[in-house]
Structure 1
């Protein structure tokens, strides 16, 4: 299935974000992970196509400094929680009477924080996410900033190696990425407990990169955890990811 459209959106500060769409029907907005893009997370392995075939309009932004979206080098283009501001601007622009919302890894962190604002999606999906992944960002930020610094010198076996190879494969602008990494803020358990949106925590059975998915689902008032095959990196390549998303969004679980 081919994309229905791909269009530019001017965010709250004028930075251009590329928005990809496929399908018609009930809208679902999907946010990709760190150093990835809509193509890699949602389109390449068929997840967006599966949802579209089932009657969903799948809306997938390339996040700021990712994919085909602009990646400004000016530090002023990266205020605190800028991805939250971008997502809220897009949701306001779309002016949808109803929609669902989901994300993978960084997209899930962004989704979780969005669920504490005044937006009202019908359902939410937090993929590749556990409880610890929503807090303690200083440690993770340091790891990724080190990966950027070591991108030309790290050898195979270095703990940063896989992150560096993924950044290179996605042609990440490391100047913009370093600015963006410094904008994320932590989310505390008390905030998670306020999220009443029915939420699916969808995590690879071998994925604990972002902590314990069961603990996250238990803390959410309407949370539910399902495991799919794979690690943090491989789970998004598996058809089970789309299958469980679809079961949840369609009301089967």
Structure 2
């Protein structure tokens, strides 16, 4: 796995979304730089299959819950003890699963995520698996075209991505969210409901609040408000 780091100070582990990478979600539009300016160290892994990380095509490289295992591996190998955890979309889902499995960040921020994005994972992944299976047939105007185009632009290997989608992320039960006791921010684009209701997600968490920023699921990453709200929550007493 490739791990990108920027800044000096309190560690913030940032987990990117599906078919994206650390550069697109955190570096390119200045979010990591803003965190560094506010006294944090942004630690940004590329998931396997993504960015500068390896994309093995052997199915055995994708055991159940592999992204959670990768998150634990980064925390362990970097010796992170007192840190914050931030995710976007699939990164948010993985962050939540990792906390349920035992990670203990001081604060948690989940962006681009609602309750249904946790509970209807098979339906969500079925869309992307279908896109991969019909990759060469998809034309402009097809509902799958945007996902195909983004995946192609990012240089994602379709076969490796399919293995990851089928096996890489386990289901989350709503009852498990009660174990996430640290202060949590559910940060969402005002026009983003791709992964369901952020309000319902916050209600299911013991200590959570919702804040909105401009944009859709895709475009909110381009907005400076994403990094600003992340830093704002992490700096709050």
- Alpha-carbon distance between aligned partners in 2 of 1:161 and 1:96, rounded to the nearest angstrom: 39
Q: Which of 41, 45, 67 does residue 29 from structure 2 map onto?
A: 45
1:102-141 alignment, distance < 5 Å: 102-141=86-125
Please, what TM-score do these two structures have when normalized by structure 2?
0.98
* Aligned counterparts of 1:204 and 1:170: Cα–Cα separation in 2: 22
How far, CA to CA, are the matches of 1:29 and 1:72 in structure 2? 24
Q: Which residue of 2 aligns with 1:199?
A: 184
2:189 & 2:177 partners in 1: Cα distance? 21
Please provide the CA RMSD for this pair.
Answer: 0.9
How many Å apart are 1:219 and its aligned residue? Answer: 1.0
Correspondence 1:190 to 2:175 = yes
Deviation of 1:119 (Å): 2.0
CA distance in 2, matches of 1:227, 1:77: 37
| 2:153 paired with 1:162 | no
Q: Which runs of 5+ in 1 are unaligned?
A: 1-16
d(CA) in 2 for partners of 1:25 and 1:157? 46
Task: With the length of structure 1 as denominator, give the TM-score of the two structures.
Answer: 0.92
| Deviation sequence 1:16-73 (CA, Å, 0-9, x none) | x000000000000000000000000000000000000111000000001100000000
Inter-partner Cα distance in structure 2 for 1:66 and 1:162: 18
Instruction: Write the distance in 2 (CA, Å) between the matches of 1:237 and 1:191.
Output: 32
Q: Which residue of 2 is the match for residue 23 of structure 1?
A: 7
Structure 2 segments unaligned to the other structure (5+ residues): none
- 1:11 is matched with none
In structure 2, distance between residues paired with 1:89 and 1:245: 24
Tell me how far apart the structure 1 counterparts of residues 135 and 223 of structure 2 sit (CA, whole Å).
Answer: 28
Counterpart residue number, 1:56: 40
Q: Which of 137-146 and 102-111 deviates more? A: 137-146
Aligned mates of 1:130, 1:199 — CA distance in 2 = 13
How many angstroms apart in 1 are the aligned matches of 2:133 and 2:20?
Answer: 19
1:3 paired residue number: none
- Measure the CA separation in 1 of the matches of 2:180 and 2:198: 16
1:151 is displaced (CA, Å) by 2.1
* Residue from 157, 165, 176 that aligns with 1:173: 157
Q: CA deviation at 1:132?
A: 0.4
Q: What is the CA distance between 1:149 and its match in structure 2?
A: 2.0
Kindly indicate whether the alpha-carbon contact (under 8 Å) linking 1:34 and 1:107 is maintained by their aligned counterparts in 2: yes
Tell me whether 1:219 sits opposite 2:204 in the alignment: yes
Using the TM superposition, give the Cα deviation of residue 221 of structure 1 relative to its aligned residue in structure 2, in angstroms. 0.4
